[in-house]
Amino acid sequence: MLLCGYYGFGNLGDELLAKALIDLLLETGLEREELALLSSSPEDSRRSLGVDAFDRWSCREVAGALRRSRTLLLGGGGLFQDITSLRSPLYYWGVVHMAKFFQCRPWCFGQSVGPLRSTWGRRLARSALCLCDPCVARDLPSASLLQGWGIPASLSADPVFALKRHRLALRGEALLVNLRPWHGGLPERAASAVKRLASGLGLPLVGLALAPEDEVLMEKLRDEGRLPLARLRRLRGWDDIGVGFAEGHLAFGMRLHFNMLSLLAGVPSVAVPYDPKVRAFAEAWRIPLWEGEETIPLEVFRREEEADAESLRRARAAIRSDLAAAWRQMEEGSRR
């Protein structure tokens, strides 16, 4: 089986998706030697994930991997979006159609779809995803969009929930913040709001970067005096998460998986809904949203921790069941 996603770019969320899916597939009875993935950094992926990896930018390697694989798994994340350009939907459209050419069955699990602002973006996404069977989305808006296209999509939680969670016995004393580059001055306004919140609470600010561009942006905001960070940590892998979130008393962030990891660690967070997938996740888990106000009231951090813990337990069980069911569907389809 060949996994395809935004792997090998140093984005922690996507690397966790790859790890989670590999662990889940191993639980279904597949052997590690039967799994491989496409990566922008094949050597790093082989070392960190323990499976074979191929250069996603080499047509020859991609074609060779697809020729040797029975199935292609679009492995989670927001692969089909054109908010910056058409490159992302065009790439994954191409891989899916190459898979069909080599009689490698495509399917997807844990997908977000959109935003798709252009006609071509929607056409590429629909053309690729209609070939994926089964097709499992990770949020309700994506599942509804796919169903509106006539694609029989089902819904499951983000695969990262299946990973053994770093739930903290004691909370730290810092306000954790994650900002990523975005247009419209959103990161700068968010920095001002969280700076005021940290000052009002008397908490130090600790930046957690989940990707290289997060680190560059928060360093810039710190140097400009907009984000007075006591520390800035780059989280590169699963082992870094416990250390990073152990400092957290509260959290405020943009990236989907920053808010997801805050939830898993038991650190109350406020999410910045720069993307529909963040809004969908926050609303599903009753995480408060920052909608651009100048101040962030402390009241928004209050959550029922025990209810969250039980919901997380059910979500983890459901993901395992959903992935196993999707794989059984793939095997049955291969025998027909």
Q: Domain limits of the chain?
A: 2-161+316-335, 174-303
Contact 237, 14 (CB under 8 A): no
**CATH 3.40.50.410 for the 174-303 domain, yes or no:** no
pLDDT value, residue 207 = 98
What is the pLDDT, as a whole number, of residue 239?
A: 86
Q: What is the pLDDT of residue 54?
A: 98
Residue 213: how many CB atoms within 10 A of its CB?
Answer: 15
Distance from C-alpha of 190 to C-alpha of 51, rounded to nearest angstrom: 39
Q: Which CATH architecture has domain 2-161+316-335?
A: 3-Layer(aba) Sandwich (3.40)
Q: Kindly list the strands in the beta sheet with 71-80, ordered across the sheet, starting from the edge strand earlier in the chain.
A: 52-55, 36-39, 2-4, 71-80, 105-113, 135-137, 154-155
pTM of the model: 0.94
pLDDT at 76: 86
The token duo for 70 is 């029975």
**What per-residue confidence (pLDDT) applies to 227?**
98
pLDDT of residue 193: 94
Per-residue confidence (pLDDT) for residue 295, from 0 to 100? 78
pLDDT by residue for the chain (336 residues), tens digit each? 999 999 999 999 999 999 999 999 999 999 999 999 999 999 999 999 999 999 999 999 999 999 999 999 999 889 999 987 899 999 999 999 999 999 999 999 999 999 999 999 999 999 999 999 999 999 999 999 999 999 999 999 999 999 976 666 667 899 999 999 999 999 999 999 999 999 999 999 999 999 999 999 999 999 999 999 999 999 998 889 988 999 999 999 999 999 999 999 889 999 999 999 999 999 999 899 999 887 786 776 665 555 577 888 889 999 999 999 999 988 877 655
For residue 275, the tally of other CB atoms under 10 A from its CB is 20
pLDDT at 144: 96
Asked whether the CA dihedral 276, 130, 160, 209 is positive or negative, the reply is negative
Q: What is the pLDDT of residue 169?
A: 61
pLDDT for 312 = 86
Place of tokens 């794989």: 327
Please give the pLDDT value at position 307.
55
R_g of the chain, CA atoms, integer Å: 20
How many angstroms separate the Cα of 17 from the Cα of each of 4, 58, 109, 153, 229? 11, 22, 10, 19, 28
Residue 228 burial (CB count, 10 A): 13
Model pLDDT, residue 238: 87
Per-residue pLDDT at 302:
61
What pLDDT score was predicted for residue 166?
61
2-161+316-335 and 174-303 share one fold: yes
pLDDT recorded at residue 330? 85
Contact 272, 281 (CB under 8 A): no
- The Cα–Cα gap between 325 and 330 comes to 9
